[in-house]
Amino acid sequence: MKLGFGIHTSVGVNSKTFLILEEEIKQFMIHKNYGEDVLNIIVGVCCMAEEFENFYKKRRPKFTDYKEIKVANSIIKIVKTFEYQLWLNYKEYQVLSDEDQKKYFGMKIIDSLINLDDLPKKIKDFDKAAFKADLENYFTGKN
């Protein structure tokens, strides 16, 4: 299973915390297998000052079974990928210490797993409960 994050932040937010957590989570998830119907999950993390929120469109969760995108001279294949957005409160987040930012982010990721309920009905081979439990255990272990 690949779990990735697209990070979009305003100035004043330490995106280093996101990058460190992203790498740790990738390593934790790399050898996990929850079935063949969902191979990738991408969470678009947005932490924007209020005046910049209008520049980022809020999107509904989306599953892509297969899609090819041409970028420059290469083709990127998106296969069995579920994407959703997670909006963090900029005012709350920016005043937290690095350690508290990690806790806040972990808590919000766990809360955001409700988006998995938006997976299409055709998805049968994905152990959503095990995926949720693993992430909850990961963040609980990190405090």
Contact of 97 with 90, CB cutoff 8 Å: no
What per-residue confidence (pLDDT) applies to 94? 86
Q: Name the CA radius of gyration of the chain, rounded.
A: 16
Phi, psi of 107 (to 5 degrees): -60, -45
What per-residue confidence (pLDDT) applies to 127? 97
Which residues, 6+ apart, have CB-to-CB distance to 107 below 8 Å? Answer: 139
The tens-digit pLDDT sequence of the chain (143 residues) is 999 998 888 887 777 777 888 888 889 998 999 999 999 999 999 999 999 888 888 899 999 999 999 999 999 999 999 999 999 999 998 888 888 888 898 899 999 999 999 999 999 999 999 999 999 999 888 75
The one-letter code for the residue type at 137 is N
Instruction: Decide the pairing of beta strands 74-87 and 62-71.
Output: antiparallel
CA–CA separation, 81 and 94 (whole Å): 30
Which stretches within 45-126 are classed as H helix? 90-94, 98-112
Question: What are the CA-CA distances from residue 104 to residues 72, 89, 121 (Å)?
Answer: 37, 10, 31
Contact of 49 with 10, CB cutoff 8 Å: yes
What per-residue confidence (pLDDT) applies to 143? 59
Contact of 86 with 112, CB cutoff 8 Å: yes
